Amino acid sequence: MNSPSEPRRLGRYEVRAATPPDEPAIAALFDEQGFPGDIAVHFRRGPTVAESLAADGDEVVIAVCHDTDTGTLAGMGACVLRREWFNGRAATGAYLTALKRARGHRDAMVALPLAYQWLGDAVRDREPFFYTTILSGNDPALRLLTHPHAGLPPYAALGTYTVFIYGTRLAPQLPSGVSLVQGWDEPVAAFYRRQLPRFACAPYDARLAGLHDDDYYSLRTGGTVVAAGAVWDQRATKQYVVTNYARPYRLARRMPLTAFGYPRLPEEGVPADYVTLAAVVVAPTHLALGATFLRTLATRRPDADFALYGLTAGHPLAHQAARPRHVTYSSRLFSVGFPGNPTPDGRPFMVEVGLL
């Protein structure tokens, strides 16, 4: 039997592990694909795609598909492994991402089952939970992957994942008796130890890579932590570049949106100045503080264009997250049915937008 990491071939296409010489072609593949819409956006990873993906977890496996006739990159995919809570215990999450086909390589679709097989075999010994997200507007991917196809693992819908884009200017007033404390300390750590097992795919210890102690904030009543979260600057590894605004948004950019609590619309052609709200948890006894806490976190960086926060429809903060003024986009969350993929036990998902 072949080693999971050995190259596999189907006709003219070869699937194998990415190597450093592949990076220029991988970067070009990211550059050629954007998100169309009223606000057209390019999502870029840097300083290299491999380094950016590695920052999202404990380990990353990247597969590339090459056209051996031309020597060109035909497509790619990746699996990010990270320690997470799942069904009340520490487990390994396997997030499938960066599945892309290069323009002009439509025939490479025949090798897609081979790519899935390679990725699944490469990480199956960790016994992970495989999952992924697909943008709601990505109709070709949804049509392909959410219907049965020979050789592809089945996708099972887990719900809608909404990303809220908040303004960063108007800080709310905290209720009487509630204080905001900056920094990581033992009460924050103990709060996360109690709360994170309630969720599926939550980070195991909330100490995400790239976050520092002073990036964390907590709300406290009488010295007791009732909410915690972090403000994460990810611009070094993930960049959002607006490439075009439809006419209504061009007009909106002339309005004082931030004065009304809305996010600032970034300049075209340059990476947006943004932050991500991470590891946000509010105690079940204090869910009414959710909207205030999210607004408070977003306004820790008032110079930023916007703050991102994402959650699934079944998350306890779903209604609170919709209260501040915002712009949204959505994806669909799926489990990916590789053999032996475990079944979620019904806990709400806590998938970090900063790790997608």
Work out the average pLDDT over 251-274.
88
pLDDT 10s digits, 192-219:
999 999 999 999 989 998 899 999 999 9
Predicted pLDDT of residue 252: 80
Given pLDDT bands bounded at 50, 70 and 90, which one contains residue 250? confident
Q: How many angstroms separate the CA atoms of 238 and 274, rounded?
A: 10
Work out the average pLDDT over 20-32.
92
H or E element, residue 297: helix 290-298
Higher-pLDDT residue of 165 and 42 is 165
Predicted pLDDT of residue 150: 86
Predicted pLDDT of residue 165: 95
Work out the average pLDDT over 315-328.
96
What mean pLDDT is reported for the chain?
Answer: 93
Please check the confidence at residue 32 and state whether its pLDDT lies above 90: no
Find where tokens 């806590």 sit.
350
Please check the confidence at residue 4 and state whether its pLDDT lies above 80: no
Predicted pLDDT of residue 33: 73
Please check the confidence at residue 2 and state whether its pLDDT lies above 70: no
Please check the confidence at residue 324 and state whether its pLDDT lies above 90: yes
Question: Looking at 63-67, 142-146, 258-262, which range is the least confident one?
Answer: 258-262
Phi-psi region of 22 (alpha: psi -120 to 50; beta: other; left: phi over 0): alpha
Judge if the upstream peptide bond of residue 47 is cis by omega within 30 degrees of 0. Answer: yes
Predicted pLDDT of residue 3: 54
| Joined tokens for residue 294 | 């999210």
Predicted pLDDT of residue 42: 86
Q: How many angstroms separate the CA atoms of 28 and 150, rounded?
A: 30
User: Which residues have C-beta within 8 Å of that of residue 299, sequence separation ≥ 6?
Assistant: 168, 169, 170, 171, 172
The dihedral over CA atoms of 99, 105, 111, 117, expressed in degrees to the nearest 10, equals -10
Q: SS3 for 3?
A: coil
Q: How many angstroms separate the CA atoms of 86 and 89, rounded?
A: 6
Please check the confidence at residue 318 and state whether its pLDDT lies above 70: yes
Higher-pLDDT residue of 147 and 94 is 94
| Sign of the torsion formed by the C-alpha atoms of 170, 171, 175 and 176 | negative
